[in-house]
Amino acid sequence: MAFYAFQGFIITLLVLLLTLHILVKSRRSKSSSFPVDWPILGMLPSLVGNLHNLQEYVTDVLATSSSSLLAHGPLASGMRLFVTCDPENIRHIFTTNHANYPKGEDFGEIFDIMQGSLFTVDGESCRRQRGRMKSILSNPRMISLMSSCSLEKVAKGLVPFLTRMATTRTAFDLQDLIARFAFDFTVMPIFSVDPGLLSSEMPPMDAAEAMDMVMAVGLLRQVMPASCWKLMRWLNTGPEKKLAAGHSTLYRFVMEMMEKRKAKNLDKEQDTVDVVSSYIHDPEFNDDLLRATLILYMVAGRDTIGSSLPWFFYNLAKNSHVVSAIRKELTPVVLSRKHAATTSNDTNTIVVFEPEDLKALVYLQAALLESLRLYPPGPIVRKTVLKDDVMPSGHEVRSGDTVLISPYALGRMESVWGKDWRDYRPERWLSDNGLKLRYVPSHKFLAFNSGPRMCIGKDIAIMQMKIAAAAIVWNFDMEVLGKQTIEPKLSCLLQMKNGLMVTVNKREEIIQV
């Protein structure tokens, strides 16, 4: 056993050294968007050489490969990848033949901190856990709790902070602010405890940063041979060392939240409404599975909104006519004053919108969906092939192959979205009269997954984004600072690599109510 372990170590080390050698040579030559299938190493060097710009690279490759590509890893790894953003392939994988494309056992290893939870399982366990989660998230009391937590964080955290920044004309990182906001209102309904990241003290975001590390290393684990990242984990080096520290931070955070919840004696109250209450007395959920499930709720609830809203405001900053259109749609709501909650902390009235105010606002939702098209929170989705199959595109996949689907590339395909795919145009989501949202099938828009694993919290997430977006757009003018590079971070979560520095002003010509 020791001999084979050492042999695996030597092979992996040689692959890494050979990859590094080829990368050095290839960077001296003219680069090409199409990956080179190197002898022995396959397409791994091309992939590693473009990790700094992975999403755009994959998009370019798929655009020149009729939206699908078979790729090979190093010879010794047996790694075969099928990469696609073809809508017909996506429908086949996610819906028509979804049973043949599970996440697979490797997925649980890649995201081991959530292993055993709904995020990593297939089959009967998936159906059972999904049914439980759907029951929790469809409970009217839970929906009400989540919306009230979002509203509270907007009114008492987000808006006051932006008001201070407007008064002092101080530049700040919008992505950092939204991350704090999303983390707080996600965790509150889980534990009935406010983490307080959006408080005036702006404490360190250790747990949120640990979640970011999980998603960043998760991407690296998906695109490299398992032997490589397992070697780094064994040596406790590189990103694997940081991930281990991140795991410890998240475990500690969950324990602290449970202790704070316990201190409030919530377990003794039979009528408590929070996520923990729905699992804590279930014998199926031992300590490890309960912890993995709670971390899943944190990741799923925070990541969609925390990554999407910064890109949304980035798009608005470049398209002032969209801002005007959203404000025009909000004006009747403000004038009605029927449900608008107002405060008068200064000379200008701040308006915070209730979920019911925003339910019928189709242009605001279209603007959010259009941003999600270009910048989906999960830019890559991984599946495993159970049995040999033929894709609608004609590509043959074999049992054990890895399938990578790119929602990021899907939103940038001219064949799907037309010649104006580069344009941020909310109108593409509206009916001809602009009064209704146009139906777009999920296999053409994967921001919320598709098929039997469609995102259960989709409607809740859209509601929460609307609450924050409406309050900010109505009350403030925002400007993105120049001379900053805006590009995606290398992660399973589509964050901005360098954040988003902005300034805000209180609106001068705001309607007084």
Q: Annotate 54-115 with three-state secondary structure.
A: HHHHHHHHHHCCCCEEEEECCHHHCCEEEEECCHHHHHHHHHHCHHHCCCCHHHHHHCHHHC
Residue 72 has a pLDDT of 76
156: DSSP letter: I
pLDDT (average), residues 270-282: 86
The stretch 178-198 carries a mean pLDDT of 95
511 belongs to a structural domain: no
State how far the Cα of 276 lies from the Cα of 192, in Å rounded to an integer: 9
pLDDT band at 265 (very low <50, low <70, confident <90, very high): confident
Q: What pLDDT was estimated at residue 337?
A: 63
**Would you say residue 513 lies in a domain?**
no
Give per-residue burial for 418-432: e unless 16+ CB within 10 Å, then b.
eeebeebbbbbbbee
Dist CA 511 CA 340 (whole Å): 13
Domain membership of residue 122 (yes or no) is yes
Question: What's the pLDDT score for residue 309?
Answer: 98
The answer, yes or no, to whether residue 381 has pLDDT greater than 70, is: yes
> pLDDT band for position 270 (50/70/90)?
low
CA–CA distance, 314 with 310 (Å, rounded to integer): 6
Calculate mean pLDDT across residues 470-492.
94
Alpha helices in 375-433 (DSSP H): 407-410, 414-417
pTM for the whole structure: 0.89
> Would residue 280 count as lying in a domain?
yes
Domain that holds residue 339: 2-506
The DSSP letter of residue 154 is I
- Tell whether 455 is in a known binding site: yes
Output the domain CATH number for residue 315: 1.10.630.10
Contact 279, 191 (CB under 8 A): no
**What's the total number of domains in the chain?**
1
Of 414, 430, 305, give the one whose Cα is nearest residue 367: 430
Residue 79 lies in a domain: yes
Q: What is the pLDDT of residue 147?
A: 94
Arithmetic mean of pLDDT over the chain = 88
Q: What is the pLDDT of residue 11?
A: 44
Most confident listed range (88-97, 201-210, 259-268): 88-97
The CA R_g of the chain, rounded to the nearest whole Å, is 23
Instruction: Summarize pLDDT for 2-34 with one digit per residue, the tens.
Output: 444 444 444 444 444 444 444 444 444 444 455
Distance CA 174, CA 153 (A): 15
Q: What is the pLDDT of residue 36?
A: 54
Q: Which residues, at least 6 apart from 374, have a Cβ–Cβ distance to it below 8 Å?
A: 311, 315, 411, 412, 424
The pLDDT value recorded for residue 43 is 63
pLDDT in tens, 307-353: 999 999 999 999 999 999 999 999 999 998 644 444 444 435 789 99
Instruction: Return the pLDDT at 341.
Output: 44
